[in-house]
Amino acid sequence: MQVWIPFGHNERELFKSVMVSFMAEEDPMLAMLTWITEQLMQIEAEAKAGANKNEHNTERKTYFGGYRPRRFDTRMGTMYLMVPKLRQGGYVPFFVNARKRSEEALIGIIQEVYINGVSTRKIERLAKEMGIEGISASQVSQINKGLDEQVEAFRNRPLQQEYPFIYVDALYEKIRSNKRVVSTAVMIAYGVGMDGKREVLAIEPFYSESNESWAAFFKKLKHRGVQKCA
């Protein structure tokens, strides 16, 4: 017998806490957070150096001197980052002096990107919140492309055939679409594997919660490999 168990409410704050909880359980999501943090550090360090890492530029102020490891604990888990080193003047990452604000903004952008996609405006806004000035169009494009690829890989990764339990529900989040703020159903499923480990199976946005959208949601789970919930 298949058992699909709903897990509750649809309040905005609950949505955020559930997203953080789910993301913390799934290494690809933490990897995405690590990736964008390192991208922003590189951009910030290059701005301080006056040139890109391998760029020949007469206005260069200093050169890169490798990387140093640094740990950054967040609600999603611990990131082990490679922080750029500059030969003169040093470099202090944006999150050191504003740890809580940086954590909130970084996790927020991962949540928003996953639900509503990436955009130039979102990345520029994130950089501004981090105090990173002068981010170029090509740098924004690179971050957009990288995030989009990682989200698609997470959404389409193969799943195992059988889960003892699968928990599903639709939460609601307000997003901006075509210059309007609309309420969107975010369908979430996570499974308990045969080894007892919880795994996020899917987080998919739909404009409405309907029989058709649920059918499409379950069809995609099946297409990705789920055959049985015992």
- pLDDT per position as a tens digit, 142-154: 988 888 888 888 8
Identify the sign of the CA torsion 195, 197, 201, 207: positive
Predicted confidence at residue 2, as pLDDT, reads: 37
pLDDT of 51 higher than 50: yes
The amino acid at residue 121 is R
Each residue's pLDDT tens digit, 66-84: 899 999 988 878 889 999 9
Residue whose entry in the numeric block shows the structure tokens 């909130």: 104
Euclidean distance between CA atoms 229 and 161, whole angstroms: 9
Q: What is the pLDDT of residues 5-14, one digit of tens each?
A: 333 334 444 4
Q: Kindly report the pTM of this predicted structure.
A: 0.71
| d(C-alpha 206, C-alpha 124), whole Å | 26
Residue 126 pLDDT exceeds 70 = yes
As given in the structure block, the two tokens for residue 145 are 């492309």
With H, G, I as helix, E, B as strand and everything else as coil, classify residue 211: helix
Torsion of CA 18, 24, 29, 31, to 10 degrees: 160
Other C-beta atoms lying within 10 Å of the C-beta of residue 54: 6
- C-alpha pair distances (Å), 229 with each of 166, 167, 198, 201, 216: 7, 10, 14, 13, 17
Q: Give the tens place of pLDDT for each residue, 185-215.
A: 888 888 888 888 888 888 888 877 888 989 9
